[in-house]
Amino acid sequence: MTVRKQGQFSARDRELLGLEPGATWIPKDPIDLILPYMEKEPNEEETDLEARRKVAAQVVDAYGDIIRRCEEIEEEISVQAKDVTIPLSPDTHYSVQVACERVFGIPAEEVTEITFEMYKAVVQAMAEVSDPGTLTL
């Protein structure tokens, strides 16, 4: 699913992310990702500089591990949620249908559901729009 490139998302466009599908699975507890990197007992024989260097190296290594784990979790979520859809009703979700028209170029009256792929596309596009490193003048 491709999102039309635009400078920003309106408040109504953000409604695409606010609907709840009533998911049947629960993501893993974030504490499980952090526990392996919690500080252990300090080593009294290390100098302060050595301890800081060791911690800095651990942070760099842990950061890479966290990124890899997040990518794995993202893939797991994508597999589990690939068939999740949120049905839309013109009576109650017309503004969401209009947002889909603006964002995806699909006529509002033809949008009958939000798919997980649509949701991911909106999240990715919003992240790109909000990333200061991607702005061009």
Segment 88-112, tens digit of pLDDT: 888 888 998 999 898 899 999 999 9
pLDDT above 80: residue 123:
yes
pLDDT of residue 16: 66
Phi (first) and psi of residue 13, to 5 degrees: -65, -35
Transcribe 60-115 into DSSP letters.
HHHHHHHHHHHHHHHHHHHHHHTT-EEE--HHHHHHHHHHHHHHH---GGG--EEE
Segment 21-73, tens digit of pLDDT: 555 556 667 777 677 766 666 666 777 788 788 888 888 888 888 889 989 99
pTM reported for the whole predicted model: 0.53
Whole-angstrom distance, CA of residue 80 vs CA of residue 117: 12
